[in-house]
Amino acid sequence: MAEKQTYPVPADFVRNAHIDRATYQAMYRRSLENPEDFWAEQADRFLDWRRRWDRVMDWDFNEPRIRWFEGGELNVSENCIDRHLTQRGDKTAILWEGDDPAESRRLSYRELHEAVCRLANGLRQRGVRRGDRVCIYMPMVPEAAVAMLACTRIGAIHSVVFGGFSPHALRDRILDADCKLVITADEGIRGGKTVPLKANTDKALRECPGVETVVVYQRTGADIHWENDRDVRYADLIADTDRECEPEAMGAEDPLFILYTSGSTGKPKGVLHTTGGYLLHAAMTHHYVFDYHEDDIYWCTADVGWVTGHSYIVYGPLANGATTLMFEGVPNYPDASRHWQIVDRHRVTIYYTAPTAIRALMRAGDDPVRQCSRSSLRLLGTVGEPINPEAWSWYHRVVGDGRCPVVDTWWQTETGGIMIAPLPGATDLKPGSATLPFFGVQPALMDADGRELEGEASGNLVIKSSWPGQMRTVYGDHQRFAETYFSAYKGCYFSGDGARRDADGYYWITGRVDDVLNISGHRLGTAEIESALVLHPDVAEAAVVGFPHDMKGQGIYAYVTLMAGRETSESLKEALIQLVREEISPIASPDVIQWAPGLPKTRSGKIMRRILRKIAADELDSLGDTSTLADPSVVDDLIENRIRPE
Ligand code: 6R9
């Protein structure tokens, strides 16, 4: 079985790697035994500080209170740009590849500096001050990274909203963070299709009175609606601004950004990250997990709208003075060879992507891969969802020609950076396992009663002590932060994931144990989708569960109960799908809608999702106990009319 196979660290990789096995073990031990000294050294090594901290760490998961490097001062954009200018001014910071293979751009560190300073000055002119929230709703162009860095330069807190989100989702996020300015583009382009970002913004802003300014980057030159006293062209905003902008000295614990992510209940939460600890974690993990070296060409295929884009397209690589590749398009446009063409064209050495992309590319066969040389590649990575051993092996054997280690990196929006992953010069690999914890990370497995499991075991994955990149709060709702992450297991951070630990101490993440779905690596809450469905006047109730999906990892299965007297129809199904697209995003569209005369509920009225999940997965022999249901007969109807997703 592929799963049983172990891939030792290639000998020639060890020679040049930053960390070998003995060093990993020694550093890991020290990071837990003497965290104050360990983190102080790392903070000195990876970041430039305007003022040294008074205290390395101060945390208590019971309150919860989390602080790192308090009293320290630094500026993120200065760390990501200015300090590289003397040595790397002409080095490419952002290497951009357009959706159209004929389009490409390079921004050197010097050019990035000018772009960021000018925009930062432009934002200041528009009244943005330290602590103000700025929403960034951009396509994958260098200006998206410039916008993030410009915010950090003046101490504004950015909230990047993925360009695939709908106007309603954008509106909710702008309102929740009370953003005063939005940076967007006329349109985005992905896979040859345009995305109407400005039109979406206009719609969202009908209900966002707090937004005073919309900065519009011209990507396609499309004809767009214009509000003279609100909208300003990106090019006009920066036209007369100074090429220098003094960075704000920010406290280590000052907020850096908010990023919304789905949980098991309610609306998406604004995950808040702060300045010093986050940047240190992003920079350090980028250096060690990707074994980053000065001459690497590093490509993370994520979108900046997700945390992976924040930490591993923008902040980690730029803090390390790397060349970070940013790709506007999709893996299969114009054809399934696109990623490998990009690898060859730009001599990419490190390639970091999601299992869903790997599975899609694997389905296209080996030819599109073999058509390209890929000889520059030396390291591969994955993130976002569990990778099945077949996809892992294909990735390793075909994409990496069996030469490149694959780092499977487990982490979350909440963790800020990588938590469990191999260090490629130190860790033998097992396909499907994220392997061992990063420095300072203390994972543990818990049973349902809150007892810690030892040795080989399966349970709920928690982290027992704080790490610098940990989120600090849910924006505007600290109570929710406490309840979501620190109430299930006293004194521990609960990840929401299940995991197994094998005899070698390796972790195998099995997926979410809560009502969070992972659709092609995108996190969605079942509750959000249900709330969208019940907005329809014909819908009385809806229950959404995930089911195993070959390509997407998970698909979305919705059970919908109509109001009395309403008729089911195909057009109603379409209307419901449309509603979800409008409320959230096309990525949240149900794959299956089953009409349910009733939902299986306990006598206290709780929907028994366990049963719905089994029916959706077509696992009827393991339905479990249905005797506690208020009306067991509804299950028979659901089984009889179940839909087998193709
Ligand atoms: C970085 C990111 C977090 C959830 C997480 C887990 C899943 C991420 C994984 C993985 C197995 C991996 N996940 N990486 N599962 N192996 N290497 O994806 O953040 O969007 O917040 O999702 O993704 O379920 O809890 P986010």
- Is residue 4 pLDDT above 80, yes or no? no
Q: Residues 102-141: pLDDT tens digits?
A: 999 999 999 999 999 999 999 999 999 999 999 999 999 9
- Is residue 626 pLDDT above 90, yes or no? no
**How high does pLDDT run on average in the chain?**
96
Q: Mean pLDDT across the stretch 12-23? A: 95
Q: What percent of the chain has pLDDT over 90?
A: 94
CA of 195 to the centre of ligand 1 (A): 26
pLDDT of residue 627: 78
Ligand 1 pocket test: pick from 497, 517, 519, 552 the residue with the most ligand atoms within 8 Å of its Cβ: 497
Q: What is the DSSP string of 295-345?
A: T-EEEE-S-TTSHHHIIIIIIHHHHTT-EEEEE-S-TTSS-TTHHHHHHHH
For residue 516, the ligand 1 atom closest to its alpha carbon is 24
CA of 358 to the centre of ligand 1 (A): 15
Q: Residues 33-88: pLDDT tens digits?
A: 999 999 999 999 999 999 999 999 999 999 999 999 999 999 999 999 999 999 99
Q: Residues 484-511: pLDDT tens digits?
A: 999 999 999 999 999 999 999 999 999 9
ipTM of the complex: 1.00
Q: Residues 571-600: pLDDT tens digits?
A: 999 999 999 999 999 999 999 999 999 999
For residue 495, the ligand 1 atom closest to its alpha carbon is 25
Angle subtended at Cα 415 by Cα 411 and Cα 419, rounded to the nearest 5 degrees: 45
Longest Cα separation, the chain: 73
Q: Residues 306-360: pLDDT tens digits?
A: 999 999 999 999 999 999 999 999 999 999 999 999 999 999 999 999 999 999 9
For residue 408, the ligand 1 atom closest to its alpha carbon is 17
Helices (H), 47-188: 76-80, 85-88, 109-125, 142-154, 167-177
310 lines ligand 1 (CB under 6 A): no
Q: How confident is the model at residue 524 (pLDDT cuts 50, 70, 90)?
A: very high
For residue 386, the ligand 1 atom closest to its alpha carbon is 11
pLDDT of residue 1: 41
Q: How confident is the model at residue 480 (pLDDT cuts 50, 70, 90)?
A: very high
pLDDT of residue 266: 83
CA of 518 to the centre of ligand 1 (A): 8
How many residues are there in the chain? 646
Q: How confident is the model at residue 26 (pLDDT cuts 50, 70, 90)?
A: very high
- Is residue 2 pLDDT above 90, yes or no? no
Q: Residues 406-453: pLDDT tens digits?
A: 999 999 999 999 999 999 999 999 999 999 999 999 999 999 999 999
Q: Mean pLDDT across the stretch 216-242? A: 98
Nearest CA to ligand 1 atom 1: 412
Q: Residues 527-579: pLDDT tens digits?
A: 999 999 999 999 999 999 999 999 999 999 999 999 999 999 999 999 999 99
Q: What are phi and psi of 363, to 5 degrees?
A: -65, -30
CA of 242 to the centre of ligand 1 (A): 41
| Helix, strand or coil, per DSSP, at residue 197 | helix
Q: How confident is the model at residue 632 (pLDDT cuts 50, 70, 90)?
A: confident
For residue 409, the ligand 1 atom closest to its alpha carbon is 17
pLDDT of residue 165: 96
Q: What percent of the chain has pLDDT over 70?
A: 100
194 lines ligand 1 (CB under 6 A): no
Distance CA 166, CA 179 (A): 17
Q: How confident is the model at residue 605 (pLDDT cuts 50, 70, 90)?
A: confident
pLDDT of residue 603: 83
Distance CA 344, CA 195 (A): 28
Q: Mean pLDDT across the stretch 262-284? A: 95
408 lines ligand 1 (CB under 6 A): yes
pLDDT of residue 128: 98
Residues 6 or more apart from 604 whose CB is under 8 A from it? none
Ligand 1 pocket test: pick from 306, 433, 518, 587 the residue with the most ligand atoms within 8 Å of its Cβ: 518
Q: Residues 238-257: pLDDT tens digits?
A: 999 999 999 999 999 999 99
Q: Residues 369-380: pLDDT tens digits?
A: 999 999 999 999
388 lines ligand 1 (CB under 6 A): no
CA of 310 to the centre of ligand 1 (A): 15
Distance CA 83, CA 544 (A): 49
Structure tokens at 450: 């809150």
